[in-house]
Structure 1
Amino acid sequence: MPKRSLILWAAAILTAATPSICFWITEMLFGPEGDGGGIWASFGFCAGREADFALNRILGPLRDFPLLWFGSVPLIVLAWGGVVLSERAGHPGLGRILGRSAAAVMIVSHLPSPLLFVLDMSAGAGCADSWEPLELTGWGIAMDLYHLVPAVLVLLAVRTPGLSRRGALARTAIAVSLVIVMLLTAGADAARGRVSDESALDCAGFGNGTVSGLDEDEKGFLCGIRDDSFGRGVPQLANMPDRELLAYGRHLCDLAVRNGGDAYAPAVSEAMGEVDSHPLVGALERSCPKVAEVQKERGWQKQAEIDAYYAAAERNCAAHPRHRPRIKPVRQVRETMWTEFWDIHAWDEENEGDEVDGRVADLVGSGPGALRIWAADEIGHACVTGESYRRRPPVETRGWEQVVEVGYQSGDGVLSIVDGEGERLPDLAAGGPGNYRVRVHVRGRKAVTENIESPDGTVQLMIMVFPGKEKRSRIYRDYPSS
């Protein structure tokens, strides 16, 4: 090996090792430095910063490989040894390939960040500020440039004497130009601020799926933001460019992870600002595994609480004594029924959803093909007994707070009481289409009205349905009972 090459190889090793040597000496003289780490959050989209973030995710495993430790000294030594062995074996060309490959690895590891930082600097101060504070960014860029020096020395060491420098320089310039053009093209494409719609993202599984360059987690987050069906999605963010929106999502994910995956932690809520947090957290679940894990656990806990709540209401209703009719009904059924808006209902098929104006004694009201019965003080479960008769049953008022009877006309011959969750009592219209009387009994209303802490299932309703042409309403016992 020529003396010139030996000097260049030695210079490359020394140059690469110098920062680590200086660090060791400083640590021995002054002790280890404190943890200077911190949190740096930035908003807005800058092509260089985004590309650098993506490249760091790809290059991270490469930089952690032991051959690149200590400024790539092990890699340089290995390449040097390969050159020596290949020359002794009579294959110097193989050695040059090894040396250039080692230099290429160092260039790929250290060149992109300086180029991308310059790209953002040219875009304005806002993009320059999107990187870490200047003193940290400047130091990092300076070290990246410094570590390119050993790569250049390795390239010079394996350069074949006598070959045209002009040709080698031209090839190098072309390669570097291509890298710069690709980076600038990618930056320019991203800088256009693409806003991919649901079809392009193939959110529902039957779109055109034209978006490329995004993984499934990223597509999932964008779909969660831009899904405008059934009140989902986040309209305030839907028009943000893809990359800007993804950067925002990563920022929220990082904040949530620092708070144990809690997407509703104060720091995360503050970053969300005025945006509706519920659909935004739903979108975040699709791209941030830790948030998804915590939300799933919360879902299980919430479902367990709901199940326990419903089970308690069922137990309370089951504990109430059954009604003993004075005459035999055609049908007697019991059900625990839920309402979120005071009432349970019955409708003819063609009148379903029609509102009934008012309730007699604020308990039961009827209209053409529609029935409305009070069941809770706004929200809760009622224990409902339904009885169907072919003739008028005796009036019972003992033990009931209110007893009210109204007329009802059934056009389709079906009277089925339905609650707020769609649960129904079986048909109580024993005579098919025609005129009926509906007599409603209630107790427990006073308790739930006066005490919001009353157990769910305190309200008991008994609904008697029997044929009758009378239109006038009757109040057999008014509330409060006397």
Structure 2
Amino acid sequence: MPRRSWVLWAAATLTAAAPALYFWAVSILTGDDGSRSYWSMSSGSCLGWDIYDQVSPWASPIKAFPLFSYDGAPLIVLGFAGWCLSLRSGRAGPGRVVGRCVAVVLLVLNLPDFLLPALDAALGPACTQIWGPPELLSWQIGRGLYDCLPPVLVLFAVRAPRRAFVRRGAVVRTTAAVLAVTAVVLLPAASAPPGKVSAQWELGCPGFGDGTVKGSSATEQRFLCVVRSHDHRYGSGLERWDEVSDQAVLDQGRYLCALATRHGGDVGARAVDEAPQASLAIALPSLCPAVARAQQAEEDRRQAESDAYVAREERACAAHPRHRPKIRPVRQRRATFWTEFWTIEGWEDGYEGNPPDLLKDLVGSGRGALAIWAADEAGSACVTVESYTRRPPLETRGWDEVVEVGYESPSGSLQLGGGEGPTLKGLTTRGPGSYRVRVHLRGRELVYQVPYPPPGAVELLVMVFPGTAKKPVVYK
């Protein structure tokens, strides 16, 4: 068996297995297995990426086969065994065929990982962005090139000698061995994804201390916290960006910031939305002043619209004539109530959060709980609440619906509120005990007829007075 071929077979096997062995050793020594996750979004069309997108679905299952684990080291060992058997039988030809088949299979599987990103890199920046951060592209090209080294060594191992072997001196052999070992050790290390991924406590994310990261500003650290899901205000982070190195995330964020700045800070602009880094847009206000200003301006505009809407509704309610009760109430109060879930709620301490069912879709009561219809899902109502010490006269004229129900007050502290509006307290006049609640309504039909009813369309008159009757009564 030629020594040269044996050395090349061994070098091919060791070179193929070296990355896995390297990361295994690192994981034992540092606890970091070296794995990193990257996520890229493609827009447009580039030749290398398009081919890779077609090739990878069938190549990935093949690479997952045990024979191709450790970058094909088991396949190389199997090919070496076939080559040895061929030599021992005195027929070198079949052994060369086996070795070349092993090399061709590995080259077919590994060359796309090197050639296709290199092709897009040659086509220009627009195509390199499809492959993700620049360091990821460099890593993929370097790793793809490295993965092609074992099959090349196999080809050299099975190549028929062209001339007589000349034994080299000890110095030459030692130098060659050192260079080979250096390449085997350093190339896997160089192929590892570079860059530091800072932990929560290092970045000073909310709830994790003051941070120890040097060389990055507070805005950059806040941006990284949001991206990596460490900022609790956003609930969850951006999928697959949390393990990309700090520098790569910042580079991609700055690129997206520059793109958004050219569009007035609008992250919804088409160019920004279609950028490969578009998923970083949610975190961009932490890093990009133009985006922060644009979003603040939009928030101010929406707040101004909301304030104007509230003011219109309150003016409309104030313009309604005040109710003139037939007997003097203990208290009479008016307010504009808001709801996003059809009703306004009445409750007493310890009885919150359990609204009763409505009678005639208007009012419902339970022990310590009250619910009154006020809007078609979301909207406002002009509410007048009157508290009495005795039963007031019935009023149905001018009202579309009038319903009265019994109410049991466990503490005598009934209060009425809804949404962002006020809370009216002290609706009961005689402390704990039995009461009646009579609700008058007008404007429901108008609300149902038009999608945007006029301000102050819904009016409610709520009368609360002592009473022991339990049976509900529908007056109108």
Q: Which secondary structure state, in structure 2, belongs to the residue aligned with residue 234 of structure 1?
A: coil
Q: 1:396 corresponds to which residue?
A: 395
Pick one of 228, 232, 247 that aligns with 1:229.
Answer: 232
Q: 1:268 corresponds to which residue?
A: 272
Q: Is the 8 A contact 1:47 1:188 kept in 2?
A: no
**Alpha-carbon spacing, 1:188–1:208, altered in 2? closer, same or farther (3 Å):** farther
Q: Which secondary structure state, in structure 2, belongs to the residue aligned with residue 417 of structure 1?
A: strand
Offset at 1:354? 1.3
Q: How do 1:114-133 and structure 2 match up within 5 A?
A: 122-124=142-144
Q: How do 1:159-308 and structure 2 match up within 5 A?
A: 191-192=193-194, 194-204=196-206, 207-225=209-227, 226-227=229-230, 229=232, 231-237=234-240, 239-243=242-246, 244-271=248-275, 281-308=281-308
**Aligned residue type for 2:267:** A
Q: 1:80 corresponds to which residue?
A: none
Offset at 1:349? 1.0
The C-alpha deviation readout for 1:403-430, integer Å capped at 9, x for no partner, is 1111111112111111112620132111
The C-alpha deviation readout for 1:116-175, integer Å capped at 9, x for no partner, is x8x88635579xxxxxxxxxxxxxxxxxxxxxxxxxxxxxxxxxxxxxxxxxxxxxxxxx
Q: 1:5 corresponds to which residue?
A: none
Q: Which secondary structure state, in structure 2, belongs to the residue aligned with residue 430 of structure 1?
A: coil
**Alpha-carbon spacing, 1:311–1:426, altered in 2? closer, same or farther (3 Å):** same
Unaligned 5+ segments in structure 2 are: 1-123, 147-185
Q: 2:355 corresponds to which residue?
A: 355
Distance 1:269 1:370 in 2: 48
**Alpha-carbon spacing, 1:444–1:272, altered in 2? closer, same or farther (3 Å):** farther
CA RMSD of aligned residues (A): 3.0
For structure 1, which segment, 213-222 or 401-410, has the greater mean C-alpha deviation from structure 2 after superposition? 213-222
Distance 1:457 1:242 in 2: 56
**Alpha-carbon spacing, 1:410–1:272, altered in 2? closer, same or farther (3 Å):** farther
Q: 2:337 corresponds to which residue?
A: 337
The C-alpha deviation readout for 1:309-368, integer Å capped at 9, x for no partner, is 111101111111110011000000011111011111011211111132x21000011112
Distance 1:293 1:125 in 2: 45
**Alpha-carbon spacing, 1:238–1:386, altered in 2? closer, same or farther (3 Å):** farther
Q: How do 1:15-94 and structure 2 match up within 5 A?
A: 41-47=129-135
Matched pairs, number:
310
Offset at 1:401? 0.8
Distance 2:134 2:336 in 1: 58
Q: 1:453 corresponds to which residue?
A: 452
Q: Is the 8 A contact 2:337 2:421 kept in 1?
A: no
- The answer to whether residue 397 in structure 2 is matched with residue 309 in structure 1 is no
Q: Is the 8 A contact 1:346 1:417 kept in 2?
A: yes
For structure 1, which segment, 426-435 or 193-202, has the greater mean C-alpha deviation from structure 2 after superposition? 193-202
TM-score by length of 2: 0.59
The C-alpha deviation readout for 1:256-304, integer Å capped at 9, x for no partner, is 12222101112222337995xxxx5452111011111111111111111
Q: Is the 8 A contact 1:47 1:190 kept in 2?
A: no
Q: 1:158 corresponds to which residue?
A: none
The C-alpha deviation readout for 1:213-241, integer Å capped at 9, x for no partner, is 32222112112232453553434255332
Q: 2:70 corresponds to which residue?
A: none
Q: Which secondary structure state, in structure 2, belongs to the residue aligned with residue 349 of structure 1?
A: coil
Percent identity reads 49
Unaligned 5+ segments in structure 1 are: 1-36, 50-116, 127-183, 478-482
**Alpha-carbon spacing, 1:221–1:305, altered in 2? closer, same or farther (3 Å):** same
Q: Is the 8 A contact 2:368 2:414 kept in 1?
A: no
**Aligned residue type for 1:425:** L
Distance 2:201 2:191 in 1: 20
Q: Which secondary structure state, in structure 1, belongs to the residue aligned with residue 406 of structure 2?
A: strand
TM-score by length of 1: 0.59
- The answer to whether residue 437 in structure 2 is matched with residue 438 in structure 1 is yes
Q: How do 1:406-425 and structure 2 match up within 5 A?
A: 406-421=405-420, 423-425=422-424
The C-alpha deviation readout for 1:177-209, integer Å capped at 9, x for no partner, is xxxxxxx9xx97993554434332112275151
Distance 1:208 1:257 in 2: 30
Q: Is the 8 A contact 1:404 1:439 kept in 2?
A: yes
Q: Is the 8 A contact 1:388 1:429 kept in 2?
A: yes
**Alpha-carbon spacing, 1:212–1:274, altered in 2? closer, same or farther (3 Å):** closer
**Alpha-carbon spacing, 1:46–1:424, altered in 2? closer, same or farther (3 Å):** same
